[in-house]
Amino acid sequence: MGLAQYAIVAVGDQWGVLHDGDIKGEYATKESAFESAAAAASLAIRQGHEVHLSVPGGEQDKANRQQL
């Protein structure tokens, strides 16, 4: 099987899940974006994929938001 990668990213004043080159969803909190990504990652694991899930820390949040 393949590799499924999920990254929580800042999108303006909201959060999204980067997967397969597209940002999916609009979430009010980083935690809610994580919960969505974790559900998708769980399904990918059941399908036999290797999974990578990344979530930025507090300092990265500030830097990422300034870039957008």
Question: Residue 24's pLDDT is what?
Answer: 93
* pTM recorded for the entire structure: 0.81
Question: Residue 39's pLDDT is what?
Answer: 98
Could you tell me what percent of the chain has a pLDDT over 90? Answer: 82
Q: What whole-number distance in Å separates Cα of residue 48 and Cα of residue 29?
A: 29
Q: What whole-number distance in Å separates Cα of residue 8 and Cα of residue 58?
A: 12
Question: Residue 60's pLDDT is what?
Answer: 58
Residue 58 pLDDT grade (very low, low, confident, very high; cuts 50, 70, 90): confident
Total number of domains in the chain: 1
Task: Quick: pLDDT tens for 16-26.
Answer: 999 999 999 99
Q: What whole-number distance in Å separates Cα of residue 68 and Cα of residue 42?
A: 30
Which domain, by its residues, includes 46?
Answer: 3-67
